[in-house]
Amino acid sequence: MRKNHIKRLALSAVLLAIGLVLPFLTGQIPEIGSMLLPLHLPALICGFVCGWGWGLAVGFVLPLVRSMLFGMPPMIPTALCMAFELAAYGAFAGFLYEKLAGRKFRVYLALIGAMVLGRAAWGIVSFAVYALMMENAFALTAFWMGAFVNAWPGIILQLIIVPLIVSALQRARLIPLK
């Protein structure tokens, strides 16, 4: 039991570190980052590899730490809203993956479910944060553009890369096949 806990802690730390560095591949250009969604990948993978609790923790901490260390994404409202989004990604990816054990296309079902629920969490938190800031209201069009229209390259990337990585980790016996 203790060995498994330490393994999950170490893997979570590695995924957190990857999440801190991965956005440098987009050149710190916010427009490219909001299209490719590099912070989403480690949170999703952490949920699959380490379980929902670790996925939630890594997802929540990642944008906040990255904002404090590098100033990107800006803490308020972006990193704050992303913290809840990525926490939902990691938590739901791990939870659904576990609950769908033995089902065909389990990785894809868990991934799509986590992506939809994470975007919903982002929309709800963004609506609340923008309302508290009394700035431009967060309308349905802003949600649609931010969650789907502008993010479609990252969504496709996630649908391709995450299952490949999860499959490779299963073959390496880092994730149980079930």
Q: Where are the domains of the chain?
A: 2-23+38-171
Third-level CATH fold of 2-23+38-171: Arp2/3 complex 21 kDa subunit ARPC3 (1.10.1760)
Q: Assess contact for 88 and 117: CB atoms under 8 A.
A: yes
pTM for this one? Answer: 0.90
Burial group, residue 162, by CB count within 10 angstroms (0-12, 13-18, 19+): buried
- H or E element that contains 167: helix 152-171
Q: Which residues fall within 8 angstroms of residue 52, CB to CB, at 6 or more apart?
A: 90, 91, 92, 93, 94, 95, 98
Q: Scanning the structure block, which residue is given the tokens 């390496």?
A: 172
Residue by residue, pLDDT tens for the chain (178 residues) are: 577 889 899 999 999 999 999 999 876 677 776 788 899 999 999 999 999 999 999 999 999 999 999 998 999 988 999 999 999 999 999 999 999 988 889 999 999 999 999 999 998 898 888 878 866 666 666 666 665 667 788 899 999 999 999 999 888 887 766 5
